[in-house]
Structure 1
Amino acid sequence: MKPTPHAAAYKFLYTGDHEMILYATLKRLHIRPAHPDYEDYLQEARLLFPEVYVDFPDNPEAKPHQFLAYAQRKIYWALLDRLRRDRKQNDRQEAGDQTELLETVASDADILDAIGQQDFRRYLLRVIGASGSTGEWRFLVGTLVDQLTADEIAARHGVSHNTVYKWRRTLIRRLVNHLTPPENFLN
């Protein structure tokens, strides 16, 4: 009766010091006996060995040194993949520090302020869109929508800095006249 490939693989593994490749592989992966999952990874390596034994292109019994080098490399890569997968899974499950998340979440006041600013921006665009000049429109869109500086607005439209500041002055005058009734201007 011919032994099964798995039986032959385990017989080969436990003859001589062949099992040392498993310990060397774990050591190379920095998994020491004090590691909490050491026994699990060692057992995984033992389970992988027969598969590697069967996959070896030549006869492992005829070329034991080449096979052991091949087996150690294959087991190393398989365990490394499992180790990465386990670490990734553990990273997802860790509770972590929530302070950074809470600091980056906007407060209610900030959200209401942003909503108010957005409404105000829409209102300004509607006012200038109805009666403003092209320069005022360019300045308003450049600053409120595109968040550009005066230099960037000038470069975008091919005008001087003074022209952009002139657009700003006329825009401010138009808004003061539109938003402030003449009878309440000084009060």
Structure 2
Amino acid sequence: MRDEQTELLEKYEPLFYRVLIDCRIFRKNPDYEDYLQTIRLAFIEKNQSLDLASDEQVTLLYRYLCWRVRDLQRRQQRREALLEKLTRYEVDQEIALESRIEWEDYLERLWPKLTIGEQRYLFSRLCLGLSMSQIMTAYQVSRSTVLKWKRQLAKRFTKT
């Protein structure tokens, strides 16, 4: 089974490189290997449901892999834009470096399970130390929206 997957990966490796090129991810990109690995994993996942003997299925596979890479690129761009916006925002209180590292580690493990609002609230509150009004200003949302994010987090933590 392992050898079959390895052979398939080797056979379709040029397709993976084509996907990266079409998504404008070149070898000089620091995340190049991460994207390539993501494509390989997505290929193994999708391979089980496709019959790659037909050209139509290979085209569908190509589109699926491109979609996965572009989805990752969009997520990364949103995260970077959010971090850039928040780091430009002035923080009234300074948080100790050790405390900040601990919170960032905890958030990294928790992050995928949260909604975007919950992520924004946690990051702003815990990592940057922003107050409720500063969070409202940074994201240009109402007070009720920020309170909703806070309630959702409280509800999530009381369930676990």
Scaled by the length of structure 2, the TM-score of the pair is 0.49
Give the structure, 1 or 2, with the largest relative contact order (CA under 8 Å, sep 6 or more): 2
What TM-score do you get using the length of structure 1 for normalisation?
Answer: 0.42
The structure with the larger Rg is 1
